[in-house]
Amino acid sequence: FMSHKLAIGAGGAAMTSIIAGTATALFAIWHFQRVSPLSLLANLAIMPIVTVVMFLAVASAVMMPFGFDWPFLYLM
């Protein structure tokens, strides 16, 4: 059951990376006449890190008026 959820999550992340990479590749080809074939793999590798960093950034922004932003900024 847990492996099924993990597979669905990984598939969703892969599809997001493929769709975003394909959409931006068209602009890269148009403007720079080249595209990076490793960009899809790089996006897949960095997605978990960006998810954690973005959560911590939003949490620190919410807690900043109260002066409790330092734990979130420390973890980032």
Q: Record the tokens describing residue 44, joined without a space.
A: 């897949």
* Phi, psi torsion values for 17, nearest 5 degrees: -65, -40
Q: What is the pLDDT of residue 3?
A: 83
Contact between 47 and 55 (Cβ < 8 Å): no
Q: CA angle at residue 49 from 45 to 53, to 5 degrees? A: 155
Question: Which residue has better confidence, 7 or 62?
Answer: 62
pLDDT tens-digit map of 27-54 = 888 999 988 888 878 888 888 888 899 9
Residue pair 28/35 in contact (Cβ under 8 Å)? The answer is: yes
Q: Give the pLDDT band (50/70/90) at residue 74.
A: very high
